[in-house]
Copies of this chain bind each other. A is one copy, B any other.
Amino acid sequence: QGWELVEIDGIKRLQKTFKFNNFANALSFTNKIGALCEQEGHHPAILTEWGRVTVTWWSHKIKGLHVNDFVMAAKTDALL
């Protein structure tokens, strides 16, 4: 899958960087994730840069990872 388990500020998170060939395609993917997370009511951190988008999922309420984050990670992959 390519998702990494990272710990930032003491909170475990799922993170993956998606590569694109320019800025516009990266931003387009960010917007697809935006539509998904609004629909699901669960919001990640989305870092948009030239040629790449880094997505980080975790559950704010439990300050860590819930099974839902793994589901959202899989749904993020499916947006490609």
A residues at B contact (CB < 8 Å) = 23-24, 27, 30-31, 34, 37-38, 43-50
Interchain Cβ contacts under 8 Å between A and B, 25 examples: A23-B34, A23-B37, A23-B38, A23-B43, A24-B34, A24-B38, A27-B30, A27-B31, A27-B34, A30-B30, A30-B48, A31-B31, A34-B48, A43-B49, A43-B50, A44-B49, A45-B47, A45-B48, A45-B49, A46-B47, A46-B48, A46-B49, A47-B47, A47-B48, A48-B48
Q: How far is the CA of A59 from the CA of B27 in the complex (A)?
A: 19
Query: Which residues on B sit within 8 Å (CB–CB) of A27?
Result: 30-31, 34
> Copy number in this complex?
2
Q: How far is the CA of A47 from the CA of B30 in the complex (A)?
A: 10
